[in-house]
Amino acid sequence: MVIATHAPAVFAEDRMYLPVHAGRALASPVAGTYGDHEGHSISERNAHWCELTALYWVWCNRENPSGLGLSHYRRYFRGEAQGPKGTRVLSGIEAAGLLADFDVVLPRRRYYVVETVRSHYAHAHVESDLSVVEQVLEECSPHLLPAWNRVMQRRSLSLYNMFLARPEHAEAYCAWLFEVLEKVESHIDLDGRNAYQARALGFLGERLLNVWIEGHPELRVLRRRVVQVGGEPVLRKAVAMLRRRWG
């Protein structure tokens, strides 16, 4: 399980977890982490790809015989093991048990209520990026366009690019995701965007994870609670969403 980080932190200590400095090519090393800048790497594109540069590095450069997943230095799947700042985080033993019964573990859905996934993205990010994704899917994965449309019309989403998957499904997902995002990146202009909106490939990756799951109904999927180290400003995020929608 990759722990993507860009800053010093107290990481979960279970041997399952691998702290990886996302964007190491652009910054000084973070103590206690592996850099995502060696071997096959997109580390220098971290400003656009966010935590996905860490996932890409592990997918390309390390064997993952028991499965592969992505978490964050501030976000973990809920478990019973003692984690940073008193949190309870998923342990390796618990993860193995989950993957014995399920193919993929995702975060519980966030419900937008007043927004669809499409309208939320349009209000919060650059709406034209969605059209680019649709064009790329039509070109390389037309069988997933119905799944894309269903996800876009919903009012809930699993976020953070977080997942845990059996090895064969992690391999299939990563191969597909990075092919799609590479093509999307080649068709959008990120120059001139502010630092937040420049993170477009990371934002789109969150939506595409849901699309991949939606397009593979044969998968046994468990949605699990995510714990946030230090808490999450849920109310502030909800107010910001409403302001974008009706402000």
Reported as a single tens digit per residue, the pLDDT across 126-180 is 999 999 999 999 999 999 999 999 999 999 999 999 999 999 999 999 999 999 9
The amino acid present at 109, given as its one-letter code, is R
Listed as ranges, residues in the chain with pLDDT below 50 are: 233-235, 237-242, 244
pLDDT of residue 231: 62
- Taking the C-alpha atoms of residue 20 and residue 30, their distance in angstroms, rounded to an integer, is 9
Q: Whose CA is closest to 57, among 131, 4, 135? A: 4
Q: Alpha-carbon torsion 151, 155, 161, 166, what sign?
A: negative
The phi and psi torsions of 82 (rounded to 5 degrees) equal -70, 125
- Sort strands 34-35 and 18-21 into parallel, antiparallel or unpaired: parallel
Give the angle 243-51-5 at the CA atoms, nearest 5°. 105
To the nearest 10°, report the CA torsion of 93, 66, 56, 13: 30
Q: Whose CA is closest to 75, among 130, 17, 115, 31? A: 17
pLDDT of residue 246: 53
pLDDT of residue 230: 83
Quote the crossing angle between the two packed helices 52-61 and 167-185, to the nearest 10°. 120
- Taking the C-alpha atoms of residue 73 and residue 139, their distance in angstroms, rounded to an integer, is 36
- Taking the C-alpha atoms of residue 169 and residue 215, their distance in angstroms, rounded to an integer, is 13
Is residue 91 within 8 A of residue 99, CB to CB? The reply is no
- Taking the C-alpha atoms of residue 128 and residue 126, their distance in angstroms, rounded to an integer, is 6
CB-based contacts of 189-197 (< 8 A; 24+ apart in sequence): 190/48, 193/126, 195/47, 197/125, 197/126
- Taking the C-alpha atoms of residue 28 and residue 25, their distance in angstroms, rounded to an integer, is 8
Considering the entire predicted model, what is its pTM?
A: 0.93
Is residue 133 within 8 A of residue 121, CB to CB? The reply is no
